Structure 1
Amino acid sequence: MKEDNDFVISGPTPYEPLCEDTLGQVFGKIFMENAPDHKIMVNAHNGKVLTTQKLVDDSCQLAQALRVHGCSPQTTICIGSENNLEFFIPIFASIFSGTIMVPLNVNYTDQELKHTLNITKPKIAFCSKRVTQRYLKLKKEMSFLETIIVIDTDDVIEGTISMNEFVRSKMNGRTVTPHNFLPFDGDSMDSVAFVLCSSGTTGLPKGVMLTHQNIVTRLLQSRYPAYLSNHDVVLGLMPFFHSYGLFFALTSIFNRHLTVMMDRFEEDFFLKSIQDYKVSVVRLAPPLAIFLAKNPKVNKYDLSCVAEVFCAGAPLSGKTEVQLKKRLNLKAIFQAYGCTEGTLALTIMNKDVYRPGSCGKVITYMQCKVRDPETGRSLGPYEIGELCFKGPTVMKGYYMNPQATKESFTSDGWLRTGDLGYYDDEQFFYIVDRLKELIKYNGYQVAPAELEAILVHHPKVFEAGVIGLPDEVAGELPIAFVVLKEGQKISEKELQAYVANKVSSQKKLRGGIIFVPSIPKNPSGKILRKELKKKLHEYKKVLQSKL
């Protein structure tokens, strides 16, 4: 296939040149500039505070302990935890020591967690006490997992060691400080800082390798004047193990903003926390944007402190965006588009421009072309194609998966996002659909093939096809077309419950199940999902009666 670059859209001229320092060196300088008592994060549930002094002292000590333990820049370690104040101590210890950190979804089933651990083979698992027993169980099956360190308690849990005790046992009374500790100083372009999990169309997660330069560039992007917030109290509700929550927390620390942290969403607590802590910047996914735009409970609280809303993870309708901006009297509302493979944001709305429904323009340092997936030809304004990107935030590749890495790039080196969209005459971008078959539920990727494999293992099911049912709140709901074996009967609720017991919450068949006589397939046996989407129209009245 012949590729061309006749239509390439570049982001604005960078505000500052790219930095060759590692992530640890960059943050080391930031922390030295901050006052020791500067508040970095507050736990909205109990009011406890994390300061610069606490974070930098504990993470430097832990980084040195990891080095004494034998961890090198080739060592993978992981963290499994809900949002808490201790989460970023192992994160920064890994950044400073140069190890490869793998944040893991605490909502993974045992099967999903086991698969991800087998991909990355971490030597050490940091975890919260809430999930410790799961890691202890898996450790028995995985010889590579040597040590489990509990981050949020000093209580003795058999088979584990607390984070404080681990440091004490390795340091033997010695101390390091930000003034005498030397952060990892390797090749920032080549050295991997994080491996983040991203679902594939096969249903098996892949590990996205992000380098120190990828993330340093993301930090520099956040300081570009057109994107940088003038408000400094930020909501930290998005999960820190997810790229969205992780990178926005890092950029908040980088820009000296205070993050008001929550570990779960509860309507009244969410609204009261914004009110009481005077949160000025709210970062969320479309379902919560819709909640703020439409839910009557919002009127019970004083949210006049909110100046900006940042929405990403899935497209937000222009209509909802207008409602939200008007209801909260916002100074700015940002939509952005991105992916884990691009270190999150790839296009973003300028805070001084309002264009409802658009995910903005190409972000600084980056280039984009809209590519015809059939011919490889780059496309002009208003022509729909696959969004492809080049630049310093594009991933190094998939961990231990060269074939998947090769398939994710064009022959001339552009990252293929699998998302279909277009740009207008002013180079504002709009997302239309996904070339990939992934379902996007509440910002999470759900692989149809995984759900299909579970369904066909039911003794009464002959075959199944899964697609996304469009939904205003969640983006898409997984819905299944099912062919039963001859003479068999089972209810929709029974089959939904069967799947729900085997998957994470986001993968449940919330869209329902439609029983059909056959599943459309091509001659090679591949399910024709486009045909299934057409069938949705035939069952529209049935679906509306259920939802």
Structure 2
Amino acid sequence: MKVYKSPAKDINLPELDVLTFLFESKSVLAKEDTVLHVEAANPKNSITKAEARELTKHMSHVLRTKYGIGANGPSKDIVLCVVNGNPMDPLLFYSTLGAGGIWSGASTAFTVPELVRQIKDADAKLLMCTAEYEENMVAAAKQCGIPLDRILRVDPSTPKDWKLINLKDGKNVLDPVNGGKLEWQRLTTKEECHKTTGCLLYSSGTTGLPKGVRLSHWNLMACNPICMSVADNYRARCKQEGREFVWNVIAHLPMAHIAGIAWYSMNPFFMGGTCYWMPKYDFDGFIENNRKYRTTIVMTVPPIWLQIAKSPKVTDHFDSVEAAATGAAPMGMELAKDVQKKIGKGKVRPAQCWGTTETTGSMTGNNFGELDETFSVGSIFPNLQLRLVDDNDQDVKEGEPGELLVKGPVVFQEYHNRPEATRDAFLDGWYRTGDVGIFKDGLNYIVDRKKELIKYKGLQVAPAELEDTLLAHPEVADAAVIGVQDEAAGEVPRGYVVRAANSKVTEKEIQEFFKKNLAQHKQLRGGVVFINEIPKSPSGKILRKNIRQWVADEQAAGRSKARL
């Protein structure tokens, strides 16, 4: 068996739960007076580490005593949140864990049917949302049989007086001054930490409908020292040069994404930095906030880097940036070089990292401040192991392509209530990422993807979900969905549709049907192609490779996309 490891030494990981690690471990750089989270539009609305600890204890007490979260033991009660970007978001995450519950985020773009699906699949015990998502949350809760007194409206608008409003009686359930406080359960062994789930994020894995990824306290804790090892190296380099690296970052990606948990709720905390929260991403606001708060690090997705590279609005907005990373989808070297002209006064180039929800974020990366002229996704991080196998699960030679398999502390527990999917996701204890890569000279390169997953602007889109929606249309007999390349978005979904007998359904009608049923990032922006038959294997599996070949052939020949 050929196993690849990091050139760096393994890190001695503390055997602690997430909250004990963040608030009490000496390896965490945040001090008691460090301002952890700030509302970008109103910097007076902020919270320090010391304040966050006490509010976490109070909110944990409220979740336990008023709503029973964690009352019957840890890893059982799921709290589902749909929230905009605000400094209270990470406190909802911390306090859910503090109560002994499991935090789960749902996309702010979800329609009511999508919310219903996740609420039911998770069997959520308590729902939270900010005001703009209240209508959809209430409608979804009604369909799931969840009463109004189990829905809380999150109100972070008043500095030092954040509120959770019970929708049944309109009362605020928080009183940090006079209310009780709950000490979270301390976990002090690796085994305890890994058997206790802290987070449930939804991903399509390598195939199928979205599945709940159960991330343990061990996963969530370990991702900080492991994934931030490249930042630690840069910090040490700065110290040798007689200067200090201060971590400032703009939170602009959703909390339902692993980025919201790792990049914003934990990593800056671990690095002793400050996270400035935007309610939602808009380009003008994003670039202005980077200039206003003199951000030192930007971690985002290729479509946003493309905007930065192409926009004439970007001048000195990113001059303070010292390190940059790109993830969630592939990015080309030419785009990276164009971005370099706009950030860090031309001295900083976005470095690719690679990871999945199932690995609690990144597994590989380059040291901050280093330019990788091969534009790899970097070296495997410490404490992790990597294999590359062929279609017969045999190890390939170095330099040859193979599916990337990983093992280590950041690899998830299991898929929620899906033992077969969990079984299929592993090979003898190694997680199958579904990505095809090459390992060469200590660096990793992603060259293809076995996954069916479509990445639209870094957001996951499951073809199976879109196919189910197409098949729900009364005039569709059969359907398949693939991702097609798009310069601005990375990939966009394209539907291949077999009309029902005597149907004359049009693309416009199908697109309207999608708008009513699915979020914006799941729309068929790649178009609808009407065909006579969906190519399938003898077992009935859609042969997506055949459809992708159609696209390649048509692009090469310059033909139209219609195949009737």
Q: Same fold (TM over 0.5)?
A: yes
Structure-1 residue corresponding to 2:153: 150
- Quote the offset at 1:130 in angstroms: 1.8
How many percent identity over aligned positions? 29
Q: Distance in 2 between matches of 1:321 and 1:198?
A: 27
TM-score w.r.t. length of structure 1: 0.90
Q: Residues of 1 paired with 2:312 and 2:353: CA distance?
A: 27
Which residue pairs with 1:418 in the alignment?
434
Cα distance in 2 for residues equivalent to 1:516 and 1:259: 49
Residue 219 of structure 1, aligned match among 203, 208, 224: 224
Aligned to 2:63: 66
* Structure 2 CA distance for aligned equivalents of residues 158 and 333 of structure 1: 44
Aligned to 2:35: 39
Aligned to 1:159: 168
Q: CA separation of 1:452/1:123 partners in 2, compared to 1, >3 Å: closer, same or farther?
A: closer
Report if aligned partners of 2:434, 2:450 keep a CA contact under 8 Å in 1: yes
Unaligned runs of 5+ in 2: 157-162, 235-244
Counterpart among 522, 531, 543 of residue 507 in structure 1: 522
Match of 1:140 among 142, 154, 161: 142
Please give the alpha-carbon distance, in whole angstroms, between the structure 2 residues aligned to 1:33 and 1:326. 32
Aligned ranges 1:84-123 → 2 under 5 Å: 84-123=86-125
Match of 1:336 among 353, 358, 383: 353
Q: Give the deviation of 1:528 after TM superposition.
A: 1.3
Higher mean C-alpha deviation, range 495-504 or range 31-40: 31-40
Aligned twin of 2:253: 238
1:467-497 superposed Cα distances (whole Å, 9 cap, x missing partner): 1101233221111222324543343333222
Distance 1:484 1:431, change over 3 A: same
Q: Which stretch of the first structure deviates more once superposed, 147-156 or 245-254?
A: 147-156
- Stretch of structure 1 that moved more, 308-317 or 438-447: 438-447
Counterpart residue identity of residue 57, structure 2: C
1:395 to 401, 412, 415: 412
Letter in 2 for 1:136: V
Deviations 1:447-473 (A, max 9, x none): 222222222333333322211101233
State the distance in 1 between where 2:101 and 2:276 align.
Answer: 28
Alignment match, 1:19: 14
Deviations 1:177-198 (A, max 9, x none): 9xxx454436112111111111
How far apart, in 1, do the equivalents of 2:165 and 2:248 lie?
36
Against the structure 1 CA distance between its residues 220 and 495, is the aligned structure 2 distance closer, same or farther, given a 3 Å change threshold? same
- Quote the Cα distance in structure 1 between the aligned partners of 2:184 and 2:473: 56
Alignment of 1:468-507 (within 5 A): 468-507=483-522
Partner of 2:373: 355
CA 1:139–1:483 in 2, change beyond 3 Å: closer, same or farther? closer
**Which amino acid in 1 is paired with 2:229?**
Y
Query: Shift of residue 132 of structure 1?
Result: 2.2
Per-residue Cα deviation, 1:137-179 (whole angstroms, up to 9, x for no partner): 33334346762222216596642655xx3244xx9945449xx
Task: After superposition, give the CA deviation of every residue in 1:11-46 in whole Å (9 maximum; x if it has no partner).
Answer: 244463011111121122159985544211222223
Task: Report the CA distance between 1:87 and its aligned residue.
Answer: 1.0
CA–CA distance in structure 1, aligned partners of residues 374 and 279 of structure 2: 30
Residue 442 of structure 1: how far off its partner (Å): 1.4
Quote the residue 1:255 is aligned against: 271
Contact 1:80 1:127 in 2 (8 A): yes
1:352-411 per-residue CA deviation (whole Å, 9 max, x = no partner) reads: 352343111111110010111x2111112221111100111111111122111111001x
Report how far residue 136 of structure 1 moved: 2.4
Q: TM-score, normalised by structure 2?
A: 0.87
Q: 2:53 aligns with which of 35, 52, 56?
A: 56
Partners of 2:134 and 2:461 lie apart in 1 by 26
Aligned partners of 2:324 and 2:349 also within 8 Å: yes
Task: Give the residue type in structure 1 aligned to 2:473.
Answer: H
- For the pair 1:130 / 2:125, whether they are aligned, the reply is no
TM-superposition CA deviations, 1:293-337 (whole Å, max 9, x none): 2222213x4431122211100111111112222342133532100
Within a 5 Å distance, the mapping from 1:305-454 to structure 2 comes to: 305-328=320-343, 329-351=346-368, 352-372=370-390, 374-410=391-427, 412-424=428-440, 426-454=441-469
Distance of 1:458 and 1:103 partners within structure 2: 28
Distance 1:156 1:34 in 2: 30
Secondary structure in 2 matching 1:193: strand
Q: Could you tell me which amino acid in structure 2 is paired with residue 92 of structure 1? A: Y
1:197 pairs with one of 202, 222, 226: 202
Give the counterpart letter for 2:383 in structure 1: Y
The answer to whether the 8 Å contact 1:76/1:121 transfers is yes
Please provide the CA RMSD for this pair: 2.6
Rate the CA distance shift 1:320–1:341 in 2: closer, same or farther, 3 A.
same
The gaps in structure 1 that reach 5 residues or longer are none
Match of 1:209 in 2: 214
Q: 1:160 to 1:368 in 2, by over 3 A?
A: farther
- Cα gap change, 1:518 to 1:120, in 2 (>3 Å): closer
1:309 touches 1:330 (CA, 8 Å); kept in 2? no
